[in-house]
Amino acid sequence: MEKIKFETILSKLKYFFKQFLLYVIFVLSLGLGFVTGFYYHAFKNSPLDDKYKIGVVHNSETNLAIDEHNNLLIIDKESGNYKIYEDSIGFKIFNLYAKNLWTTPKPVEPTPVTPTK
């Protein structure tokens, strides 16, 4: 009789812990999803750092130069401060600048007008 009670109590405890763990895992996953969503939203809406903001620089304010390692130097005319960029950026800017200098824009041809009856 005691063995039967012990087995029934043990089976009921196993069932209880299975259900309890199921609910614990469910609640933890909901909480983790909420926390992830909250911090994702907060991270995506945070302001950008100043180093990632795009600034416009005019030719009258700067000089462009390339050093012996093909790095691009952008030199401020007033203060003499400069920024060094990788050689790939220097090649891209040089190619764009050269293309604008040495190619003449093609004139736009007017589109033909079909006469209507």
pLDDT along the chain (117 residues), means of 10: 80 92 96 88 69 70 83 87 84 78 69 70
Q: Are residues 40 and 71 in the same domain?
A: no
pLDDT at residue 28, rounded to an integer: 96
**Number of domains comprising the chain:** 2
| C-alpha to C-alpha distance for 12 and 91, rounded to whole angstroms | 74
Question: What residue numbers bound the domain in which 71 lies?
Answer: 58-102
What contacts 89, CB < 8 A, 6 or more positions away? 72
**pTM beyond cutoff 0.95:** no
Give, as one character, the DSSP assignment of residue 86: -
Cα 76-79-81 angle, rounded to 5 deg: 55
Q: Are residues 3 and 41 in the same domain?
A: yes
Is 115 part of any domain?
no
Taking the C-alpha atoms of 96, 54, 52 and 43 in order, what is their torsion angle to the nearest 10 degrees? -120
